[in-house]
Amino acid sequence: MQALVTRGSDWDGASDASLAAWLPWVARAQPDAVQLSSLARPPADPTLHNVPRERLEEMAVAIRKALPRCRVEVF
């Protein structure tokens, strides 16, 4: 599973609440691997913002705890 995590002007895809809402769906899918990434270059929509790698790493830890058999990578 690949997930592009971004932030907007009035929402945050990397927030604890967003992660908590998303994790049950990931667990239901039971992927062998999850790849997390954020924006590598400016997007067409200027209201989207990059999520720092440090936050992606924190999210990866939470995913690993929820899905111990899943390989989680941050790009």
**pLDDT for 19:** 98
pLDDT mean values, one per 10 residues, the chain (75 residues): 96 97 96 97 95 98 96 97
- Collapsing DSSP to helix, strand or coil, 72 comes out as strand
Nearest to 61 by CA among 49, 73, 50: 73
pLDDT at 67: 96
The answer to whether residues 39 and 6 touch, using CB atoms and an 8 Å cutoff, is: yes
| Whole-prediction pTM | 0.92
Query: What confidence score (pLDDT) does residue 53 get?
Result: 98
Cα–Cα distance between 49 and 56 in angstroms, integer?
13
